[in-house]
Amino acid sequence: MQVKRQITFLPDNITVNVDDNTNLFRAVKAAGVYVLSSCGGKGNCGKCKVIIKEGDVESGKSPSYLTSEEIGRGYVLACHSHIESDVVVEIPPESRMQAKHKIATGAKTEEILQIMKAAGGCLDSRMMRIYLNITPPTIDDNISDYERLRRALDNAGLDAVHLHMNYQVLSKLAHVLRDGKWKVTVSCFDVGAVLEVLDIYPGEVIRQRYGAAIDIGTTTVVVYLVDMKNGHIIGTASTYNSQVKCGDDVITRIVYATERNGLTELQDLVLGNINTLLGDLAEKNGISPGMIEYIVVAGNTTMTHLFYGIDPQYIREEPYIPVATFFPLIRGKSVGFQLDPQALVYSMPSVASYVGGDITAGVLVSQIHKQEQVSLFIDVGTNGEIVLGNRDWLVTAACSAGPAFEGSGIKFGMRAMEGAIEEVEIDARTYEVNYRVIGDVKPIGICGSGMIDILAEMYLNGIIDQKGKIREEIGSKRVRRGENGLEYVLAWRIESAINKEIVITEVDLDNLIRAKAAIYAGFATLLSHMGMTFADVQKLYIAGGFGRYIDVERAITIGMLPDLALDKFQFLGNTSIIGAYYGLLCDRLRHEAEEIAKKMTYVELSVSRSFMDEYMSALFLPHTDLHAFPTVKKEFEARKKLA
């Protein structure tokens, strides 16, 4: 008989019973407790640190992820540990997902409808409700009920080549027409060549109608609840994508999906997120989720595959092939949504394995596909996708920057949530540090904007060289040799919330430089692909949750963004959700998105010689070629004088 063990998780005091020798990371998931993990429990990110307060675990080869001090204090990696007795486990603050967080939900919601109209959009959703006053049949006009309805729809301006209704609707058609005395309300959906009659009601139905736009990010899920009648966003909500516990980035998720029930598990997690967000939003606004009749989602190609439960395995293997880029419409209920029984779900179309519907949505919002001038577009999320083009052509690439700026692979890296250092200044003479923490609390880690600041400040003040190597010779007490080599102390133990110094290591710096180099090399490669240079770029649009918090000048300083005039940069916010909103309400713009997806030429950077060259040149601060960054050069020299 299997011996059972009881595990208690602190500080939430959640208890779960598992078999003896269960892996602690799996027990954490079984308990529904959240613990950070970038690798999804594979044992190679070192994020899932927990403290064993009572009882025994077998912790295998405890790796270099833990300091000897941490080991002394009872830290283990959950994924490396197996339960050997009843245990009490504490989840320390640095391993927790904080409740207060910043997720960009888009532009100001009251403005989005105006922005859409300015982009040529209008309220002509494919999801329609039409009131029809139908001429009753006579002996001389005795076409079938179905043909009569079709004729009335034609007369109302909906010329359907094919009219379709399922047998449930067809079965009640005769009665509804006569109960309503030939005045009926038809709920229907334009599927292209086919007009699908979803339901039919006697008389005029003036019930409210709702829809939802959803951005499924690798890290976050954002939802808009929309009044379909007037386009008003009546509520927004967001949460972290629960899939993060199975891995930080798309590659880890794909690997996870191919194992055991991984695919179903990942699908259930994100559907659960969306159901919860929609349910809460509906309740808060006093409506029933059963009144939500149309959903448009936008996500990267992997997220979209997982949403539909389609195996994304070959996205990851050369030559990187997705199963689909255009996804068939489905009924919400077929994937388990608790919406209107007839509710339909549409996905913004993808372009390729690493350029998804979120980017198609982004281009739609940026409107670069309608302009004469050449623009760049970047969505800085968990990946960095880039588009270059104008009304005549569009090229796109994914620069696989990786999730370093979201904290992955960075010793004290974390997402932009309470406790994250988000701004950093270093004194040019004393090397002392000033930082600002989200929520004005003691810090527990560093988020993306903080990392950019650190790189920029350390470089400008000569604490690191152009390659990101720490210059020990400057003789600051903040520079020291840690367990993983040289490191710089940002916050002393007494300042931090985690009873540890918060540092940035040379390994961290190296990871950040690779990430920024990949983005810059992506821009440069697309331009050279088209025989252009940065001088040809009239606008650079920055989209994405993280994008919103980037300080453009600092990002130029580290060579992540090109050294263009500041007025050429424009923030667009979360264009993935805004584009999904366009698609929800305006069929013309949704159609435009499909045209954009078909028009975009995908450039595979991972096999591009030119990209490798550009990347190698960009592995410096700001770049091998300082002439390409005149303003940085100037600032660097100014600081030098100051020091």
Residues near a second copy (CB under 8 A) are 137-139, 142-148, 161-162, 164-167, 170-171, 173-175, 178, 192-194, 308-311, 313-314, 318-326, 328, 330, 334, 350, 352-353, 602, 604, 607
Instruction: Tell me phi and psi for residue 546, to 5 degrees.
Output: -70, -35
Between 240 and 602, name the residue whose CB sits nearer to a second copy.
602
* Least distance CB 604 / a second copy (angstroms): 5
130: three-class secondary structure by DSSP: strand
Residue 83 neighbours by CB under 8 Å, 6+ apart: 5, 7, 18, 20, 21, 22, 24, 27, 55, 57
Between 123 and 324, name the residue whose CB sits nearer to a second copy.
324
Residue 502 neighbours by CB under 8 Å, 6+ apart: 412, 421, 443, 444, 445, 446, 489, 490, 491, 496
* Least distance CB 165 / a second copy (angstroms): 7
* Least distance CB 161 / a second copy (angstroms): 7
* Least distance CB 324 / a second copy (angstroms): 4
Between 145 and 190, name the residue whose CB sits nearer to a second copy.
145
Between 146 and 534, name the residue whose CB sits nearer to a second copy.
146
Beta strands (DSSP E) in 21-126 are: 49-54, 57-58, 75-77, 82-83, 87-90
Separation between Cα atoms, residue 147 and residue 155, nearest integer Å: 12
* Least distance CB 344 / a second copy (angstroms): 14
Between 126 and 209, name the residue whose CB sits nearer to a second copy.
126
185 touches 203 (CB < 8 A): yes
CA triple 326-332-333, angle to 5 deg: 135
H or E element that contains 277? helix 262-284
223 touches 233 (CB < 8 A): no
Nearest C-alpha neighbor of 434 from the set 455, 416, 454: 454
Separation between Cα atoms, residue 580 and residue 576, nearest integer Å: 6
Residue 361 neighbours by CB under 8 Å, 6+ apart: 298, 348, 575, 576, 577, 578, 579, 580, 582, 583, 593
* Least distance CB 164 / a second copy (angstroms): 6
Between 110 and 318, name the residue whose CB sits nearer to a second copy.
318
Q: How many CA atoms lie within 13 A of 564 on its CB side?
A: 22
3: three-class secondary structure by DSSP: coil
Between 427 and 595, name the residue whose CB sits nearer to a second copy.
595
215 touches 222 (CB < 8 A): yes
At 83, which amino acid appears?
A: I
* Least distance CB 175 / a second copy (angstroms): 7
Separation between Cα atoms, residue 582 and residue 590, nearest integer Å: 7
* Least distance CB 141 / a second copy (angstroms): 8
Output the six-digit token pair for 603.
């450039």
572 touches 543 (CB < 8 A): yes
Between 273 and 350, name the residue whose CB sits nearer to a second copy.
350
Nearest C-alpha neighbor of 89 from the set 68, 75, 69, 99: 75
First to last CA, the chain: 71
Between 192 and 485, name the residue whose CB sits nearer to a second copy.
192
* Least distance CB 352 / a second copy (angstroms): 7
Between 174 and 638, name the residue whose CB sits nearer to a second copy.
174
* Least distance CB 290 / a second copy (angstroms): 23
* Least distance CB 594 / a second copy (angstroms): 12
H runs (alpha helix) in 317-356: none
Residue for token pair 């063990």: 5
Beta bridge partners of 380: 384
640 touches 634 (CB < 8 A): no
Give Cα separations from 13 to 7, 76, 79, 88, 319 (angstroms): 10, 19, 20, 9, 48
* Least distance CB 136 / a second copy (angstroms): 9
* Least distance CB 145 / a second copy (angstroms): 5
Residue for token pair 């197996």: 82
Separation between Cα atoms, residue 20 and residue 3, nearest integer Å: 5
Between 9 and 602, name the residue whose CB sits nearer to a second copy.
602
Between 258 and 285, name the residue whose CB sits nearer to a second copy.
258
* Least distance CB 127 / a second copy (angstroms): 19
* Least distance CB 600 / a second copy (angstroms): 12
Pairing of strands 384-389, 375-380: antiparallel
